[in-house]
Amino acid sequence: MRTLVLSVWSILYPLVALAAAPFWMLKMFRRDGWGSGLLERIGIYAREAEFERTGAVYIHAVSVGEVLLALKLITKWREETGDHFVLVPTTATGMAVAREKAPKDVRVIYAPLDFGFLIRRVMKRLEPRVVVMVESELWPNLIYQTHRLGIPIGLINARLSPRSGRRLKKFRSFVEPFLKLLSHVGVPEREDLIRWQEIGVCEKATVLTGNVKFDPSGAALPKRRPEFSELLDQFPKRPVAMAVSTFAGEEEYLDGAFREAGYQPVIVPRHAERRTEVAEALKGAVILRSQFRKPTGSESFVIDSTGELRDWTAHADVAVIGKSFFEEGGQNPSEAILAGVPVICGPQMANFEPLVTELKEAGGICMVSSREELVVALRNLPTEQIARARAVLEKHSGAMVRTIALFSEKCGAVVI
């Protein structure tokens, strides 16, 4: 079955890639991806192969969120083991953040396209000691070719929602031949252990590590930056309500509620390139982070930058989570909690279960389902919410150390 899947993939993947190329190139243009080493996607590098440092931990991280998680992990990992790293983003925004924030001795390259010959070329060039995929990234050739070369490969922070688990279970005969090749799968919750095993991951490979995203230990917490304070201080003296990682439709909805409740609106769109769309939605009454000018009235502040969200949350008096009102899934509430900021969200937070349910039961987050409820919540923030939320996150303390131990020098490839 594995041979059949790879044969079909080798036909479909190029066709899909070719069909998607115009849209992909447009997105790259909008996200300033040109001139950023895109030839690396087809295995062509500026550095000569003889100067590559082999034996690294190869971390495949798709976009900004995964890259930031990888960087958090790398910081602790280097302290624990002294390993060196290759960080491999897929998107232009992920690459921009990686190049800006990665330590100088971390090799940052674009992820190669999932063609067998490209994966083999890159793996033979870099000779990593282990390949780590951040979260539930499953690429047939990356898994198969890496395994063929005798390199251990696995997943970290591999949450599998009930919905995704049911969907993959229907296609178990297609995914199981690849999942059985994974050496290690570190999962955030006990329920994830069962779901991964039900679709074909070896029982001995799955380990409950806790969620690295929510681990309050071992990494720098969100912190207030003087340059951020200087910008915010130029706005009217009001408490700051920050809309975190918003999607279309949420900006104007949350902005109006913030104003009604007496807050200074700060909007952080999930994608910075939506800045013009956001400004139009707010009828032009905005100050952009990228084009800052002194406010002349009661403008909203739009943070149209990439990779700064963590520290911006430390400047908020309350954080409201995007993608939870009109989109499904929600965004990560943990950085605001770690920053000591009370959190409000909409009803659509399925991507962060069971954490959100635990936070609700503990009184560590406020979930609202209407604008009226949101305004009331903004006006009546419970003082004890922050401590209760932090207590919930403490159960994930040590997740980084457990994840690092999973991929230590002693780990070996699963032999199938």
| Rounded distance between C-alpha atoms, residue 110 and residue 313, angstroms | 29
| Rounded distance between C-alpha atoms, residue 29 and residue 27, angstroms | 5
Strand, coil or helix: 36: coil
| Rounded distance between C-alpha atoms, residue 93 and residue 99, angstroms | 10
Yes or no: domain 226-395 corresponds to CATH 3.40.50.2000: yes
Q: How many other β-carbons are positioned within 10 Å of the β-carbon of residue 311?
A: 18
**Contact present, 360 and 330 (Cβ < 8 Å):** no
Strand, coil or helix: 321: strand
DSSP 198-236: HTT--GGGEEE---GGG--SSSPPP---HHHHHHHTTS-
The DSSP bridge partners found for residue 345 are: 321, 367
pLDDT of the residue at 231: 95
For the chain, the structural domain boundaries read: 2-218+398-406, 226-395
**Contact present, 79 and 64 (Cβ < 8 Å):** no
Give me the residue label for tokens 């769109």: 269
Q: How many other β-carbons are positioned within 10 Å of the β-carbon of residue 105?
A: 9
Q: Which CATH class is domain 2-218+398-406?
A: alpha beta
pLDDT of the residue at 24: 66
- Give the torsion sign (CA, 84, 88, 89, 94): positive
**Contact present, 268 and 242 (Cβ < 8 Å):** yes
**Contact present, 110 and 35 (Cβ < 8 Å):** no
Written as tens digits, the pLDDT of the chain (416 aa) is 888 888 888 888 888 777 766 766 666 666 555 555 678 888 899 899 889 999 999 999 998 889 989 999 999 999 889 899 999 999 888 998 999 999 999 999 999 999 999 999 999 999 999 999 998 778 999 999 999 999 999 999 998 988 889 999 998 989 999 999 999 999 998 999 999 999 999 999 999 999 998 888 766 678 899 999 999 999 999 999 999 999 999 999 999 999 999 999 999 999 888 999 999 999 989 999 999 999 998 899 999 988 888 899 999 999 999 999 988 889 989 889 999 999 999 999 988 888 999 999 999 999 999 999 999 999 999 889 999 999 999 888 999 999 999 998 544 444 43
pLDDT of the residue at 163: 85
| Rounded distance between C-alpha atoms, residue 412 and residue 415, angstroms | 9
**Contact present, 309 and 303 (Cβ < 8 Å):** yes
pLDDT of the residue at 219: 62
| Rounded distance between C-alpha atoms, residue 163 and residue 179, angstroms | 18
Angle CA 173–176–178, to nearest 5: 125
Q: How many other β-carbons are positioned within 10 Å of the β-carbon of residue 237?
A: 6
Q: Are strands 184-187 and 366-367 parallel, antiparallel or unpaired?
A: unpaired
Domain 2-218+398-406 matches domain 226-395 at the CATH topology level: yes
DSSP 111-136: PPPS-HHHHHHHHHHH--SEEEEESS
**Contact present, 214 and 393 (Cβ < 8 Å):** yes
User: What is the edge-to-edge ordering of all strands in the sheet holding 85-89?
Assistant: 107-108, 85-89, 57-61, 130-134, 153-156, 184-187, 206-208
pLDDT of the residue at 414: 44
pLDDT of the residue at 416: 39
